[in-house]
A and B are shown apart, each in its own frame.
Chain A
Amino acid sequence: MVYYITAILLILIGMYAILTKKNIIKIVIGLSIVDSGVNLLLISIGYIKNGTAPIFSVEGLTPDKMVDPIPQALVLTAIVIGLGVTAVALSLVIRLYDHHKTLNINKIRKLKW
């Protein structure tokens, strides 16, 4: 139960940073915090009390007491794609700074390069 509350608080703190801050790099940091919160929420749904990891390493393990393997396979993909989104967003920030010489979103108003 602690895991659900931590994950939802992380999502809310990240969304507050996206809605309120004026610096572009702060907004990208908030996006990265929202990613971490959503991944924790997905994995904590598939947990079974006193379960073990889903690997048949020794001979006599039965699949009765193993945790759910499907959320782990989905979160594996989600972490890598979160890194890709952060990298492309930061390269756009570098290009914007070269042209406008400021990082304040209230001063970047023109739509043309």
Chain B
Amino acid sequence: MRKVTAIFVLAIFGFYMLSVFLTIPFGEKRDNVGQHYLANTVKETGAVNTVTSIVVSYRGFDTLGEVTVLFLAATGLGAILFDKKGKKRRLQHASLIVRVGAHLLYPLIVLLGAYVFVHGHLTPGGGFQGGAIIATGVLLMFMSYRSFETSHKALIYIESLAGIVFVLAGFSGLIWGQSFLQNVLPLGEPGRLLSAGIIPIIYIAVGFKVGAELTGLLDNLLKTIK
């Protein structure tokens, strides 16, 4: 009885959604705010990647909110799974091929992640992607070696300092400019590494913060396995 009702309600819902979305033509050119951002992004912000300049410069306040939500999620997970006795991880040693391969691949993966978030304003990439790649590299080392540890205090310090750097960069726009998160450094010429004012500084801080957060989250989860 429950399945029949669910299928009936979902069929009505799907029919109305399809009939609305078939009136939006697929692949036509529309005049909206996106055209204004595409025409003015190299002059006003100096970044070559349009999506980066929207996420950090035109809508930078929403990125601050997203970083806060990710911080709350990682802290909430650590608080729910808190155990007073403090068990240690007791996974098994992996086989020889996995150990040697992980030893060779780990510095290359961390280097790729750092490249992705430093060149965020020139190529596709940015802070969130680079942080996720670094967390994947550390997870590979967790699964191969039994005695690989990361110190808890270092992760907490890196995360807090990176968050403070983001907010201070916003306040520097308030002190020397006109509004929060405004560009106050010189723009430089587009296409070089040291250009686009305040955007590389913010993305490097976000990359460190997301990498440290996701590593701490995985460490909390793996520590509870007996």
Q: Is B24 a contact partner of A70 (Cβ separation < 8 A)? A: no
Q: Is B124 a contact partner of A81 (Cβ separation < 8 A)? A: no
Query: Which residues on the B side are within 8 Å of A3 (C-beta)?
Result: 26
Given known contacts A8-B21, A68-B34, A84-B70, is B48 in contact with A57 (CB within 8 Å)?
yes
Interface magnitude class on chain A? 35 or more
Contacting residues of chain A (24-76) with chain B, CB-CB under 8 angstroms: 41, 44-49, 53-57, 63, 66, 68-70, 72-73, 76
Query: Which residues on the A side are within 8 Å of B17 (C-beta)?
Result: 8, 11
Q: Is B70 a contact partner of A80 (Cβ separation < 8 A)? A: yes
Q: Closest approach, in angstroms, between the C-beta of A37 and any C-beta of chain B?
A: 11
| CB-based nearest A residue for B33 | A70
Q: Is A63 a contact partner of B6 (Cβ separation < 8 A)? A: no
Q: Is A76 a contact partner of B73 (Cβ separation < 8 A)? A: no
Q: Tell me which of B29, B59, B73 contacts A48 (CB under 8 A).
A: B29
| CB-based nearest A residue for B47 | A56
Q: Closest approach, in angstroms, between the C-beta of A99 and any C-beta of chain B?
A: 12
Q: Closest approach, in angstroms, between the C-beta of A23 and any C-beta of chain B?
A: 15
Q: Is A63 a contact partner of B38 (Cβ separation < 8 A)? A: yes
Query: Is residue B69 within 8 Å, beta carbon to beta carbon, of the partner chain?
Result: yes
Q: Is B39 a contact partner of A76 (Cβ separation < 8 A)? A: no
Query: Is residue A105 within 8 Å, beta carbon to beta carbon, of the partner chain?
Result: no
Contacting residues of chain A (82-107) with chain B, CB-CB under 8 angstroms: 84-85, 87-88, 91-92, 94-95
Contacting residues of chain B (1-54) with chain A, CB-CB under 8 angstroms: 2-3, 6-7, 10, 13-14, 17-18, 21-22, 24, 26-30, 32-35, 37-39, 41-42, 48-51, 54
Q: Which residues of B does A touch, CB under 8 Å?
A: 2-3, 6-7, 10, 13-14, 17-18, 21-22, 24, 26-30, 32-35, 37-39, 41-42, 48-51, 54-55, 59, 62-63, 66, 69-70, 73-74, 76-77, 80-81, 123-124, 126, 128, 190, 217, 221, 224
9 further A-B pairs in the complex, CB-CB below 8 A; given A63-B38, A68-B34, A87-B217:
A48-B28, A57-B48, A63-B39, A72-B51, A76-B55, A77-B66, A80-B66, A91-B221, A95-B80
Q: Which residues of A does B touch, CB under 8 Å?
A: 1, 3-5, 8-9, 11-12, 15-16, 19-20, 41, 44-49, 53-57, 63, 66, 68-70, 72-73, 76-77, 80-81, 84-85, 87-88, 91-92, 94-95
